[in-house]
Structure 1
Amino acid sequence: MSESPSVFPPFPKFSNWKGISEYFPVQKESVWLNYCGTTPISSYAIQMMNVYLEEYAKFGIFTPNFSEPTIKKEIRGYLSEILHCDPTEIGIVHNTSEGMNFYSHSIQIPKGKRILVLENEYPSNVYPWEHWQNKGVTLGFVKVGNTPNEFLENLKLELEKKDVFILSISPVHWCTGVVFDMEVVSKLCESFGTKLVIDGSQAVGHIPLDFSKIKVAFCAFAAWKWLLGPLGLGVIYISKEESKGFQLVFKGQASVVNDSNYFPYRDEWKPAAEQFEQSTINFNDWIYFFASLKMLSTLGFSRVQERIYEVAGMLKDMLHGLGFTLESDAFPDVKTGILAITNHKDPKKFQPEAIQAHLKQNGIITAVRLGRLRMAPHIGIEEEHVNRVKTHLQSYLEKL
């Protein structure tokens, strides 16, 4: 093992965004507009994984640059920068559902209280709470409304009933792209003694989230959306305050301190965030995620968010020019990277499934949610891709 270790491959800073799509091979064959759903791998992540696999082939688990503690520290460091929190408050899991279930089954909620989630929320933030309905706790839904302000009014009406123990919401609605003011939401929760839990899958990496300003007890999110990570990897955040006395209902090999020493069996648990990392992890996914975060960090996390808004703005202008209306037309001053197309000036031409199928036949990937055609771009989308989408939307409209 005297061979000199490799170094992490560099990533260019891109003073402007021209040519960055070359790092996203999917954009050569198609126009991927489902980054709030799943994200194909970047060539930079492939390069990083190749370096790791070459090292692993030579050194096994003793890889000099890719030890588990090193990569974990890097991942936690990047995520704490995004969330404005302490790295020790971050844990790595497989997905949002897993994180939410672990947390939901490990806490206590008094009988007669309510858990409140968003109307039409993604199942990962609904199913993990359902078991409480058999324990004298009600699971309720707060209406989203048509604008962020209308949602806040609806939320306040629910909280004023003074029985909401937990509010568990997504800061960005996965179907409509509506963004909620989490600082206001946090203050409302504090004023009524309600714990705030966040499903961050549609928010982290997409909109600014500052956990030093927002009082969040717990958060779980997927790595494979706005953070460009791998399918099957997720993250949890548990605040230091929530960590006090917290103990996960499940206990695995890695739940205890000094877990690499197997005997004697141990009763002393790791800190709360690390309790969620139950046992041996898929380290390949960690390398992939590390590469994606390193790439986004090099570009600048806030700069990436602004680019997402910029590209979404280009698409929005194009769609308006073709006669389409969008959900975000009702809240034009709120930035979002999710465009939910709701209609067309000729309503007969707005058939979301038919438009989606036409675009897919031409290599353009979108989604249909709640009767809306959803588009969600990322930094891999450039002006040429927007023009390609325009061309094929025009051909759809003209044939009707």
Structure 2
Amino acid sequence: MLPNHSELPSFPPFANWKGISQYFPVQADSVWLNYCGTTPVSTYAIEMMNLYFQEYAKYGIFAPNFAEPAIKASIRGYIAEILACDPSEIGIVHNTSEGINLYSHSIQIPKGKRILVLENEYPSNVYPWEHWKEKGVSLEFIPVGKTPEEFLFNLKQELEKGNVYILSLSPVHWCTGVVFDLEAVSQLCENHHTKLVIDGSQAVGHIALDFGKIKVAFCAFAAWKWLLGPLGLGVVYLSKEESKGFKLIFKGQASVVNDSSYFPYRDEWKPAADQFEQSTINFNDWIYFYASLRMLSTLGFSRVRDRIYEVADLFKKALHELGFSLESDAFPTIKTGILAITGHKDPSKFQPEAIQSFLKQKGITTAVRLGRLRMAPHIAIEEEHVVRVRDALKEYLSLS
């Protein structure tokens, strides 16, 4: 039984996006430009959670609009729509590190094989693989290069050595915003009998993904970035092919079928993706995530992506006019919502930490990564916010 949508808060479709920032209180007195880092809560999610708390106070776990199986089915359905996969391939965890660790410790890799990850990869996609080094499997890094084409060349060279068992890739680099050609990557992996694993935290909700076309064994990602979900919630995808014979390294109360009947103890495990949910979950986070996904679905997942690119382009134009250069200048035809500022026509004026500090005093939140000033807008950013950031940067340049 799915939630009774007629009794739940609705969200307007925002045909032209005007006024949508009012649903994001963080934008009222500031400009949040770190949506690829963490995302502040929307008033829509607050309203949904308030309704849940009211029902939970009255009915406990029998809250009529928020039955756990129904909320889980809805979350899986939304994620399956985004990834173009089957809902049964989706599981819910706490974060990317947990998901990749659970997968990494549950599989077998022959001694002498290699695992490849990106150069300067986020730690969540590095540390979970390190235990393999003690088991005769090496962990190595692929140079990113300056363009997606250069990365593919570097990857091809590594795969042609013939001993790469897993490529664990972030389709969007968290520091630079560079987007890799997943179809080409997937084909290279297939050609060289390499499993493709994805850290999707910077990709899911940001770029188009079709797991029906791209052969991915496993994927894990955070809910609190481009999907506007809560901190401390993540998602895993385990393909049907990879699920065959898969058994998680840990067994918890919820690992087995009919887990709500505690006796007799059971040996029959749940389907593979369900195994990642070990026991009682933080259902509050599920409601928050459900609300965010429902909001994005109302707006249209592909339309949201297009809006992210549209706002990013407004920033690109403003930044170029101010004399800044961007990482994406090297791949201008590829869409990305992560703007990595790499320099200025006057090199003395590009001091990323100083710019970040100045912007923070103006209520503008950015990040510094690998010597770049990173901005990442989302649907909560409107044209007026772009103007505010532009004016602040213009002031900084005049004072520096």
The alignment's TM-score, normalised by the length of structure 1, stands at 0.99
Partner of 1:151: 151
- Tell me how far 1:29 sits from its aligned partner: 1.8
Superimposed CA distance per residue, residues 15-67 of structure 1 (whole angstroms, 9 cap, x where no aligned partner): 11100000110000210000000000000000000111110010000011101
Partner of 1:207: 207
Q: Is the 8 A contact 1:6 1:51 kept in 2?
A: no
Partner of 2:320: 320
* Alignment partners' CA distance in 1, 2:267 and 2:361: 57
- Tell me how far 1:5 sits from its aligned partner: 11
Superimposed CA distance per residue, residues 167-203 of structure 1 (whole angstroms, 9 cap, x where no aligned partner): 0000000000000000000000000000000000000
Partner of 1:47: 47
Partner of 1:246: 246
Q: Which amino acid aligns with 1:169?
A: L
Partner of 1:265: 265
- Tell me how far 1:6 sits from its aligned partner: 8.1
RMSD: 0.9
SS state at 2:374 partner: strand
* Alignment partners' CA distance in 2, 1:375 and 1:98: 27
Q: Is the 8 A contact 1:326 1:341 kept in 2?
A: yes
SS state at 2:287 partner: helix
* Alignment partners' CA distance in 2, 1:353 and 1:122: 20
SS state at 1:40 partner: coil
Q: Which amino acid aligns with 2:26?
A: V
Q: Which amino acid aligns with 2:162?
A: K
* Alignment partners' CA distance in 1, 2:214 and 2:269: 28
- Tell me how far 1:359 sits from its aligned partner: 0.2
Partner of 2:169: 169
Q: How does 1:57-96 map to 2 (within 5 A)?
A: 57-96=57-96
Superimposed CA distance per residue, residues 209-262 of structure 1 (whole angstroms, 9 cap, x where no aligned partner): 000000000000000000000000000000000000000000110000000001
Q: Which amino acid aligns with 1:316?
A: K
Q: Which amino acid aligns with 1:10?
A: S
Partner of 2:33: 33
- Aligned residues, how many? 397
* Alignment partners' CA distance in 1, 2:6 and 2:317: 46
Partner of 1:280: 280
* Alignment partners' CA distance in 1, 2:48 and 2:16: 23
* Alignment partners' CA distance in 2, 1:265 and 1:364: 55
- Tell me how far 1:7 sits from its aligned partner: 1.5
The alignment's TM-score, normalised by the length of structure 2, stands at 0.99
SS state at 2:254 partner: helix
* Alignment partners' CA distance in 1, 2:33 and 2:81: 27
Q: How does 1:1-400 map to 2 (within 5 A)?
A: 7-400=7-400
SS state at 1:333 partner: coil
Unaligned runs of at least 5 residues, structure 2: none
SS state at 1:140 partner: strand
- Tell me how far 1:8 sits from its aligned partner: 1.1
Sort the Cα spacing of 1:78 and 1:5 in 2 relative to 1 into closer, same or farther, 3 A.
closer
Q: Which runs of 4+ in 1 moved over 6 A?
A: none
Q: Which amino acid aligns with 1:21?
A: S
* Alignment partners' CA distance in 2, 1:388 and 1:72: 40
Unaligned runs of at least 5 residues, structure 1: none
SS state at 2:75 partner: helix
* Alignment partners' CA distance in 1, 2:47 and 2:321: 40
Identity rate, percent? 79
